[in-house]
Chain A
Amino acid sequence: DGGITQSPKYLFRKEGQNVTLSCEQNLNHDAMYWYRQDPGQGLRLIYYSQIVNDFQKGDIAEGYSVSREKKESFPLTVTSAQKNPTAFYLCASGSNYGYTFGSGTRLTVV
């Protein structure tokens, strides 16, 4: 995955359940990002972090939470408050040479 790994590739969530998506990078990038992509649509920013122990909300943060305890890791939790979580989730890490994306997690509510 070019230095950034997302897991799992597919995830199924039951109603009312919290789930956590993993994102790990070994590119030594300070900044990491989470995007949501719905079918046929663009990428919308959920949360981003420019440094360890600090993160900011993006455009659609409601119903999601993140942590950044280590430089390499930026997990995303989809909480039960997110009423329509079915989507493709992409994690990225960035430097002034651009972003590298993970291969994504496809989340489906069952």
Chain B
Amino acid sequence: GENVEQHPSTLSVQEGDSAVIKCTYSDSASNYFPWYKQELGKRPQLIIDIRSNVGEKKDQRIAVTLNKTAKHFSLHITETQPEDSAVYFCAAAMDSSYKLIFGSGTRLLVRP
């Protein structure tokens, strides 16, 4: 079955700097890759997603890139702000099932 690995497990950046979180997946049939943000004690919220027919997608300060050949995708947050501090999860799924398999999460801390 699908396996998703996520790195780093923790990331601390200065406010205004960029943050990058990387994920790799094992099943080449996966074609949907969302990213979720989870604040303490709350439910995960979708922040951006990408499908395998595109290589990059951007939404204001957030971007996701996908390399299908290498089977990895990354989340990029620019001009980080303290409210970006949270746990971020990547996930992968196939269109046929939409069964999301999640990475282990990255705890991002943005220092003021």
Cβ of A16 to closest chain B Cβ, rounded Å: 28
Whether A48 and B99, one on each chain, are in contact in the complex, defined by CB atoms closer than 8 angstroms, is yes
Whether B43 and A90, one on each chain, are in contact in the complex, defined by CB atoms closer than 8 angstroms, is yes
Of the candidates A33, A50, A104, the one whose C-beta lies within 8 Å of that of B100 is A33
Whether A33 and B42, one on each chain, are in contact in the complex, defined by CB atoms closer than 8 angstroms, is no
Q: Give the docked Cα–Cα distance between A102 and B44 (Å).
A: 9
Give the number of chain A interface residues (Cβ < 8 Å).
24
The interface bits of chain A over 86-100 (1 if a CB of B lies within 8 angstroms of the residue's CB, else 0) are: 000010101110111
Q: Give the docked Cα–Cα distance between A104 and B42 (Å).
A: 8
Whether A42 and B104, one on each chain, are in contact in the complex, defined by CB atoms closer than 8 angstroms, is yes
Report how many A-B pairs have Cβ atoms within 8 Å: 49
Indicate the member of B34, B43, B45, B89 with the most A CB atoms within 10 Å: B43
For A98, list chain B residues within 8 Å (CB): 34, 46, 49
B residues with a Cβ closer than 8 A to A are 1, 6, 32, 34, 42-46, 49, 89, 95, 97-105
| Chain A to chain B contacts (Cβ below 8 Å), 12 pairs | A31-B98, A41-B104, A42-B6, A42-B102, A42-B105, A43-B102, A50-B97, A50-B98, A59-B1, A90-B43, A98-B46, A104-B43
